[in-house]
Structure 1
Amino acid sequence: MAFDKEAALIMCNNYCKNTLMETLDIVFTDAGEDFLQATMPVNPRVHQPMGLLHGGASVALAESVGSAASIMFINPEIQEVRGIEISANHLRAKRDGVVTATARIVHQGRSLHLWEIKITDEAGKLISLCKITNMVMPRRR
């Protein structure tokens, strides 16, 4: 079956309703067979006290994109995804504008998925480099 980009984006954005992703204004904007992309505005809602993008907000964006990306590879009727490890290196500060997170698959096993997530600014400069490991498990009813 061919990858349906529009269906993937609708599914991911629908999952965001009444969640942290909605609170942070995370919007899924692009998808492909091996990647998922989302944006998040940088404003006082996601700042740390010095007026910079909070590292925790960057990690929340990375985990949101990396976890949703794994959902594209499973059958949600019978499987679930759980993030079991995330790491982040924050490389550049950001005060305002928009950041874009792009998750790309590194390893797709039956029970573990490893994703690399690059968070960039509008000019494509790397803000944070993250990695998430997701566990694929049977859906609990």
Structure 2
Amino acid sequence: MPDFAAAPPSAPIHERLGITIVSASADRCVGTLPVEGNTQPFGLLHGGASCVLAESLASIAAMLYAQPDRVAVGVDINATHHRGVRSGIVTGVATPVHRGQSTATYDVVITDEQERRVCTARLTCYLRPATS
């Protein structure tokens, strides 16, 4: 199991989309995503890219909560896209809504550089027992 406390977690999809994990804890996980390179055909930030950012941040926070005896696995995500963004960087912040023995749910708020809400997402993770 990765040691998230030792270094910011990374994944190939983070590299592909340009996601940077700014800070990570079970109580709050923050990351950024550039709009450039992550747009849909009409030049707006792709909703799927926002969902990848949201799922990454919430999953990291849930994994930090679940360690060392459980592993977090995303089972449900939903997102509401509030405004379009054409350039710059968006920032996502994941905070817990519920943390129990078998599930953890996080809200993720994504904002633009003017701190306007771009997307609100919620991810629920199943916390399964860790196996070696």
1:14-25 matches, within 5 Å, as 15-17=9-11, 19-25=12-18
Correspondence 1:63 to 2:55: yes
Q: Could you say what secondary structure the match of 2:65 adopts?
A: coil
Correspondence 1:107 to 2:91: no
Correspondence 1:128 to 2:119: yes
Instruction: Give the number of equivalent residue pairs.
Output: 129
Q: Equivalents in 1 of 2:118, 2:39: separation in Å?
A: 14
Q: Equivalents in 2 of 1:110, 1:124: separation in Å?
A: 34
Q: Equivalents in 1 of 2:25, 2:73: separation in Å?
A: 21
In structure 1, list runs of 5 or more residues that go unmatched: 1-6
What whole-Å deviation, never above 9, does each CA across 1:77-108 have from its counterpart, x for those lacking one? x4211100000000000011000000000000
Q: TM-score, normalised by structure 2?
A: 0.90
Question: What is the CA-CA distance between 1:16 and the residue it aligns to?
Answer: 1.4
Question: What is the CA-CA distance between 1:32 and the residue it aligns to?
Answer: 4.9
Higher share in helix: 1
Answer whether contact 1:9 1:30 (CA < 8 A) is retained. no
Question: What is the CA-CA distance between 1:128 and the residue it aligns to?
Answer: 0.1
Q: Equivalents in 1 of 2:25, 2:50: separation in Å?
A: 22
Q: TM-score, normalised by structure 1?
A: 0.85
Q: Over aligned residue pairs, what C-alpha RMSD do you find?
A: 1.6
Answer whether contact 2:89 2:113 (CA < 8 A) is retained. yes
Q: Equivalents in 2 of 1:120, 1:8: separation in Å?
A: 26
Answer whether contact 1:9 1:31 (CA < 8 A) is retained. no
Answer whether contact 2:26 2:63 (CA < 8 A) is retained. no
Question: What is the CA-CA distance between 1:33 and the residue it aligns to?
Answer: 5.4
In structure 2, list runs of 5 or more residues that go unmatched: none
Alignment-derived partner of residue 35 in structure 2: 42
Question: What is the CA-CA distance between 1:67 and the residue it aligns to?
Answer: 0.3
CA pair 33-72 structure 1, distance change in 2 beyond 3 A = closer
Q: Equivalents in 1 of 2:89, 2:17: separation in Å?
A: 12
Q: Could you say what secondary structure the match of 2:56 adopts?
A: helix
